[in-house]
Amino acid sequence: MIHTKDITFSYSEKVNFSFPDIQTESGETLLITGGSGKGKTTLLHLLGGLLRPKSGSVSIGETSISNLSEKQLDQFRGKNIGLVLQQSHFVEAFSVLENVVLASWLATGKKAEEKAKSLLKHLDLEDQMHKLTSQLSIGQQQRVSIARALINEPKLLLADEPTSSLDDENAFRVADLLSNLSKEYKASLVIVTHDQRLKDRFSNQISL
């Protein structure tokens, strides 16, 4: 479902990255690990179309996102890529439910409220959906981010350090949730992390 070939990226003449080729199918999980400064988040942003590679190609399904215009890329990303980032970027004045519904409306022009409620229930957030996100624990906020990323049933789910601020119990819960939900929704899942606790959780790994 996602395939990259020979991608490179430069922030400056002194900061250059060359990344290994990636290929994952629907329902598969890839764990990308590496120390600080190795380009993990840069690679995730390249896979998500938030950055464009200096050279090489990134394809999701049959679409080479490297060749899309900015407008086409925005539309494609909204419908096909789910992002769970380190900073959740919730709309603070909105409830949990409204934040998830907003993601569907921005991508499709439709407010998928029943679908959002079903997802939140699936993630054990049924009793939290009318609260503000600021009233939730960090673990609960992370699950809201996952619901928001899945609302449009993306082909690719990208998670940047999804367990870094969680204790062991919640870290493993979130990792298992991401893996199980990606299989359920037939999405490719790419987790970028320096969290050594996850290395025994996933067999398909790349170290930068």
Residue 84 CA to residue 175 CA, distance in Å, equals: 12
Return the sign of the alpha-carbon dihedral for residues 25, 31, 35, 41.
positive
pLDDT for the residue numbered 58: 94
Q: Which domain does 181 fall in, by range?
A: 2-207
Domain tally, the chain: 1
The CATH number of the domain holding residue 161 is: 3.40.50.300
Which tens digits make up the pLDDT trace of 45-96?
A: 999 999 999 999 999 988 999 889 999 998 898 889 998 887 778 998 999 9
Residue 186 CA to residue 191 CA, distance in Å, equals: 16
pLDDT for the residue numbered 125: 92
Residue 74 CA to residue 76 CA, distance in Å, equals: 6
Place of tokens 């922030």: 11
49 bridge partner residues: none
pLDDT for the residue numbered 138: 84
Listing DSSP states for 79-142 in one string gives HHEEEE-SS----TTSBHHHHHHHHHHHHHSS--HHHHHHHHHHTT-GGGTTSBGGGS-HHHHH
Q: What is the pTM of this model?
A: 0.86
Q: Is 5 exposed, middle or buried (0-12, 13-18, 19+ CB in 10 A)?
A: middle
Which tens digits make up the pLDDT trace of 109-162?
A: 888 888 899 889 888 899 999 999 999 988 888 889 989 998 888 899 999 988
Mean pLDDT of 186-203: 89
pLDDT for the residue numbered 173: 84
